[in-house]
């Protein structure tokens, strides 16, 4: 079985970047057309600060991932310092998927794991196709091959 990596979705970060770009452009246009005579040129340094929000979200996105190998799952968190939690897939008892209303609209959800002796923990929020990932993890935990879709007629 091939290894694969699970990360939170980039959909919200992309939407935030687009929103920040639109606000940035609006502020630049307002400055050039309306505010130039009323405020100093130093004000032009403020609109780029809007991009700090999507940048911090992207850095947080880069700092979390789950690597699924043939027999184990490794949860990694951190950029500079790193915390790693490893779980044997054969000890995986349940993979819970939660999707709120807005998550269902965007096709994302939260994944939580139940293991023997460790209880439940929710390592990742806003994952694309959470049910498909949960099914694949349970299949690997049972040692069975991934479910293939039926051939189309």
122 lies in some domain: yes
Q: What pLDDT does 105 receive?
A: 93
The pLDDT averaged over each successive group of 10 residues in the chain (153 residues) is 89 93 89 82 79 92 92 91 90 91 94 81 87 90 53 43
**Residue that the structure tokens 């994952």 belong to:** 127
What's the confidence (pLDDT) of residue 37? Answer: 79
- What is residue 101's predicted lDDT score, i.e. its pLDDT? 95
Contacts of 152 (CB under 8 A, 6+ apart): none
Residue 151 lies in a domain: no
Nearest residue to 11 via CA among 136, 144, 125: 125
Residue 149 lies in a domain: no
User: What tens digit of pLDDT does each residue of 88-112 get?
Assistant: 888 888 899 999 999 999 999 999 9
| Distance between CA atoms of residues 62 and 65, nearest Å | 8
Q: pLDDT at position 120, please?
A: 74
**DSSP annotation of 147:** P
Number of domains in the chain: 1
Q: Residue 19 falls within a domain, yes or no?
A: yes
Q: What is the rounded CA–CA span in Å between residue 97 and residue 108?
A: 10
The answer to whether position 129 is within a domain reads: yes
Q: Give, for 12, the enclosing helix (H) or strand (E).
A: helix 11-30
In a domain, 150, yes or no: no
User: Which of 63, 61, 123 shows the shortest CA–CA distance to 92?
Assistant: 123
- Structural domain harbouring 92: 4-142
- 101, part of any domain: yes
In this structure, what token pair is assigned to residue 55?
Answer: 């940048």
Q: What is the pLDDT of residue 147?
A: 42
- What residues contact residue 114 under an 8 Å CB cut-off, 6+ apart? 92, 93, 94, 95, 96, 120
* CATH code where residue 50 lies: 2.30.29.30
């Amino acid at each position: 079985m091939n290894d694969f990596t699970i990360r939170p979705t980039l959909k919200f970060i992309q939407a935030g970047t687009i929103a920040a770009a639109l606000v940035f452009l609006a502020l630049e246009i307002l400055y050039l057309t309306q505010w130039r005579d009323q405020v100093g040129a130093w004000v032009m340094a403020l609109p780029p600060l809007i991009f700090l929000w999507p940048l911090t979200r992207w850095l947080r996105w880069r700092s979390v991932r789950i690597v699924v190998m043939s027999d184990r799952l490794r949860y990694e968190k951190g950029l500079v310092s790193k915390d790693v939690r490893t779980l044997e897939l054969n000890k995986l008892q349940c993979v819970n998927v939660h999707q709120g209303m807005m998550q269902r609209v965007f096709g994302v959800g939260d994944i939580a794991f139940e293991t023997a002796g460790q209880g439940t923990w929710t390592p990742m929020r806003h994952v694309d196709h959470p049910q498909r990932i949960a099914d694949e993890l349970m299949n690997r935990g049972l040692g069975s091959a991934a479910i293939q879709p039926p051939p189309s007629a």
